[in-house]
Structure 1
C-alpha cells in the first residue's frame, strides 16, 4: 500500500484540459450514453482536439466488465437488474463490475497518444493523485494498492484506512486513450458492494457451471466505503469543486469546444457498443 502523495513526483505532467460535465439528466435513460460519448470524444482528441476531463453521474446503473459478461448466467443476471429498474451495460474499458448512483462521480481523462506509446502506470498514478489531492480538505490518508474483496479490484485502488472508495481503469484507441475512475462520495459503500456481490452470485451460478475462483471477484462489502463515510465529505458537489481547484493549480482549464455538447453519431455509437460488448460473448 502506497501513500498517494508520495508518488506524485513520478506522475506525468497534466496537459491543458477542457473540463466537461455531462448533466445527470442526459445520462439517466441509458448508462451507455456517457461511455459512447467518451468513445467519440477520444477519437477527436486523437485527431488533435484539446484533452478532456469528463465528469458524469448516473442515477442507477450496473456497469460490468468483459470477463463478467462471459459468466454463464450473466445475461439472466443482467436482465434481472434491468427489470428492477437499473440500467446495465458492458463497458469498453477494463475492470470489473461497478455499481453507480447519484453519489458516485465518474471521471475520465481523455488524452492523446500519437506515438502509440503510453505509460499506464504513470497515468494511473496521475489520476490517483488528482483524486487524493481533491480529498485533502477532509483527509490526507488516501493510499493506493489493491484492496482484496473490493469490487472492480486493481493495483491502483484508492482507499482510506483499508476501505476502497475509488477504482481506476483504462481504454485505448489508435491515437488516444482514456483513464477512467469511479469515486464513491455519498451513500453506502457496503450497499453498493452487496448489489455487485448479488450480481456475481447470480451470474456465476452453482459450481456445476464450471466457474473457477479466479473468474470473478469475491466481493466483501466491508472493504468498500464512500468518502462521506470515510472522511466526512459532505456532497458530490463539494468534492467536485475541490477537484476543480486541484486541476486549476496544475494546468490551464480551457473553454469547452462547442462540439463537446452535440457530438455527432452518439446513437450509432451506443448501438455499436451494445452490439460489440453486451450482445456478444
Structure 2
C-alpha cells in the first residue's frame, strides 16, 4: 500500500471478517483477538492483518470511566436502555457500539524509526481513500463535545463520525477505529451524555470527563446523505486495499493462535470483572 505514504506495511494482508457474528458476539473477544494477532505479527512473523467486527448494543468504557463515583447508577441507566457494558484493555473513554458501527483494526509489526503518528496516519489515509468519491473533506483533529475525544477524531464539517486509537503489545501494533456508518450520531452522543450525568451525579471526579454535546456527532449516512450498509463499507474497504496494490488472503486461526486467544480471553474477562467490581 505504498500510495498510502506508510511503506512499512507489507504488501500482503490477512483479512479477518467478524462483522456478521450477530448479537451474541462478546465484545471482550475482540480485545483478545487483537492482542493475539498483535503477538503473532510482532513476534512470530505473522502477516499484517486487517480485522473488521461489529458488536450489538455495547458500551465500551475506559478504565477511568469505570471509576466514576456513581458508576453503578451509570451502568444501570445503560442496562435500562438495552446496552451491555464492558471495560476496554487500553486507553480512551466511553464509546457506543451497535449494528450501525463498523470497527476496524490494522495490525502490523512495530518498526524502529516509525512514530505513533505513522499508525494514525495510515488509518486516516485508508478512510480518506475509501470515501474519496463523495468529494468531502475528512478532517483529523479533536472534536470538543464528542464522546471519547482525541487528536485523531475524524469529522466532516465539524461533525465526528469516527475515532482512532492504538494498542501496542509485544512488538505488534493495532490501530483501531470505530466508524459510525449509519443511524443517528446525536442519539449515540445523548446516550453517553446521560451516562456521565448518572455516573457523576455532581460529585468530584479524578479525571476530566467530556461534556458531550449531541450536535457534535453524526453518522456517515447522515453526513454523506447516502444509504449504505456495513457490508457496503466492507466492500469499499477491500477494494481500496486492493486498488492500492496490496493482496488479501484469508487464513483461519492456527492451533497456536487459538490457544493464545483462549488465554487472552480468560485474562480479559478476569480484568473486566475486576474493573466493574472495584
TM-score, normalisation: structure 1: 0.87
Alignment counterpart, residue 121 of structure 2, candidates 105, 125, 130: 125
CA distance, structure 2, for counterparts of residue 260 and residue 52 of structure 1: 14
**How many equivalent pairs are there?**
270
Q: Which residue in the other structure is 1:5 paired with?
A: none
1:274 is displaced (CA, Å) by: 3.1
Q: Which residue in the other structure is 1:271 paired with?
A: 266
Give the conservation status (yes or no) of the 8 Å contact 1:105–1:182.
Answer: yes
CA offsets per residue over residues 82-114 of structure 1, 9 Å max, x none? 454322111123221110111110000111126
Q: After alignment, is 225-234 or 157-166 more displaced?
A: 225-234
CA offsets per residue over residues 119-141 of structure 1, 9 Å max, x none? 11111011011112111222432
Q: What's the secondary structure of 1:25's corresponding residue?
A: coil
Q: What's the secondary structure of 1:40's corresponding residue?
A: helix
Give the conservation status (yes or no) of the 8 Å contact 1:31–1:88.
Answer: no
Give the conservation status (yes or no) of the 8 Å contact 1:27–1:34.
Answer: no
Kindly indicate whether residue 90 of structure 2 is the aligned counterpart of residue 90 of structure 1: no
> Where in structure 2 are the equivalents of 1:208-247 lying within 5 Å?
209-211=203-205, 215-235=208-228, 236-247=230-241
1:18 is displaced (CA, Å) by: 0.8
Give the conservation status (yes or no) of the 8 Å contact 2:14–2:248.
Answer: yes
Instruction: Report the CA distance shift for 1:114/1:121 in structure 2 as closer, same or farther (over 3 A).
Output: closer
CA offsets per residue over residues 147-204 of structure 1, 9 Å max, x none? 1101111111111000000100011112112110000111000001011111111122
Q: What's the secondary structure of 1:102's corresponding residue?
A: coil
Kindly indicate whether residue 37 of structure 2 is the aligned counterpart of residue 41 of structure 1: yes
Q: After alignment, is 254-263 or 162-171 more displaced?
A: 254-263
CA distance, structure 2, for counterparts of residue 88 and residue 143 of structure 1: 30
Kindly indicate whether residue 188 of structure 2 is the aligned counterpart of residue 192 of structure 1: yes
CA distance, structure 2, for counterparts of residue 59 and residue 65 of structure 1: 18
Instruction: Report the CA distance shift for 1:114/1:131 in structure 2 as closer, same or farther (over 3 A).
Output: closer
Alignment counterpart, residue 256 of structure 1, candidates 250, 254, 261: 250
Q: Which residue in the other structure is 1:169 paired with?
A: 165
Unpaired stretches in structure 2, ≥5 consecutive residues: none
Instruction: Report the CA distance shift for 1:69/1:246 in structure 2 as closer, same or farther (over 3 A).
Output: same
Give the conservation status (yes or no) of the 8 Å contact 1:37–1:263.
Answer: no
> Where in structure 2 are the equivalents of 1:63-78 lying within 5 Å?
63-78=60-75
> Where in structure 2 are the equivalents of 1:126-145 lying within 5 Å?
126-145=122-141
Give the conservation status (yes or no) of the 8 Å contact 2:101–2:178.
Answer: yes
Unpaired stretches in structure 1, ≥5 consecutive residues: 1-7
Q: Which residue in the other structure is 1:3 paired with?
A: none
